[in-house]
Amino acid sequence: MNPNKEEKNILLAFLALYETATHDGYIGAMLVTDSQGVPQEFRCTHTVKPTLIQRPLYGDTLESYIGVNLCGIPLIGSIQNKPTLIVVHKEFLLGVRKTSPCPVVFVRRAGEAIDIKTSDRPEVKLRRERIDSPTGRVQPVVLIPHHDFDDDIASARKLFEGIMNYLDPIEPFERMAKAIEVLGKQDKRFQ
């Protein structure tokens, strides 16, 4: 099945934060592809290495701060090919939605996590949608938007229902991880 004309114009951006092999730093990366997953642009950051003092001072907020403020938002600003949708692989990266010009969703495999309610307040309940591949080629996924931007789920669902005929939305993150690994071997600024 080939993409139709509308789908051909779609650009997807995959935003990820990877830890270095030595576990002492983080690299942010963003891959922009068309609806079939063919790369259009790739941007990444040099390694961010918090010091031994900074780590405990930031505590649990370290990853989200680095992922969103230091890497995610600047990466979104630096890409030339503006995407229709940004997909993130970690929930804390949804924080980029506050400054992102386009919808942002967190995607994971359906059934790979158990959601535990930490509060009874209705406003913290996250909307989520399960998307199945029409052809069954791709495993179903769950989309989760930023809690302040619930409307993103509708546009994301519509888009995913089309592209999941030929693109697994989790797979590009694996490519990016491998690319980051190769970059790390070639250049010490990515180690």
Partner 1 sequence: MGNAKLLDNLDFFEKINLKLVSKIFPVKRTKILLLDKIEIDLRETRINQISIPPIPLPEITSDLSVVKPALAEQKIAPSYVQIITCNNTQCSKKLRMQIDSQLIGRSLKIQCPICNHAFIYSLTKDDLVEDFTTWLKEQLFYPEIETISVLIGIPLRVGKSYKTFGADDRQTTLFEREEGDQTCIHGVKRMSCSICIEKKRQDIERPSSHVDLFDIIFPILQPPLGENFDSPIAFPSILFPFQRTGIKFLIDHERALLADEMGLGKSIQTIVAIRFLLRMGKVNNCLVLCPKSVLTDWAKKLWEWAPELRVVKIRGPKEQRQVSWNNSAHIYLTTYETLRQDLSASLRELREREPKTLSLFNDTQEIESEEAVEDIARKQFDLIVLDEIQKTKNPGANITKASRRIDARFRWGLSGTPLENRLDELISIFAYLKPGLLHYDDASKPLKVKEAIKSYFLRRRKADALPELPEKHHEEAWLELSTAQRGTYDKAEKEGIVELNEKGDSVTVTHILALITKLKQICNIDPVSQESCKIEYLLEKLEEISEQDDKALVFSQYPEKTLKVLEPKLEQFNTLVYHGSLSDSQRDQIVNRFQEEEKSKVLLMSVKAGGLGLTLTRANFVFHFDLWWNPSTATQAEDRTHRIGQEKTVFVTTLFTVDTIEEKIYTLLKRKRELFKAVIDDLSDTNLTKILTEEELLSLFNLKKVKPGTKPVIPNGGLTIESFRQISPQQFERLISSLYEKMGYQAKQTPQTRDQGVDIFAKRVGESGPESLAIQCKHYQTGPVGVEHARSLYGVIQDQPSITKGILVTSGEFSRECMEFARNKRIFLIDGKYLVGLLEKYGVSHLEFI
Rounded Cα distance, 98 and 58, in Å: 21
- From residue 18, alpha-carbon distances to 10, 30, 39, 48, 64 in Å are 26, 11, 19, 10, 12
Residue 37 or 162 with smaller CB distance to partner 1: 37
Contact window for partner 1 (CB under 8 A) among 28-36, 84-92, 93-101, 121-129? 28-36
Rounded Cα distance, 19 and 8, in Å: 33
Position 24 contacts partner 1 (CB under 8 A) = no
Of 20, 24, 63, 65, the one binding partner 1 by CB under 8 A: 65
Position 1 contacts partner 1 (CB under 8 A) = yes
Position 43 contacts partner 1 (CB under 8 A) = yes
Rounded Cα distance, 116 and 58, in Å: 25
At closest approach, how far in Å is the CB of 116 from partner 1?
30
Position 63 contacts partner 1 (CB under 8 A) = no
At closest approach, how far in Å is the CB of 153 from partner 1?
25
Give the angle 14-58-52 at the CA atoms, nearest 5°. 100
Rounded Cα distance, 133 and 116, in Å: 26
Position 57 contacts partner 1 (CB under 8 A) = yes
CB 171 within 8 A of CB 37: yes
Position 19 contacts partner 1 (CB under 8 A) = no
Rounded Cα distance, 131 and 119, in Å: 26
Strand, coil or helix: 56 = helix
Which residues of this chain interact with partner 1, rule CB under 8 A? Answer: 1-3, 8, 28, 30-31, 33-48, 50, 53-54, 57-58, 65-66, 69-71, 74-75, 78-81, 167, 171-172, 175-176, 178-179, 182-183, 186-187
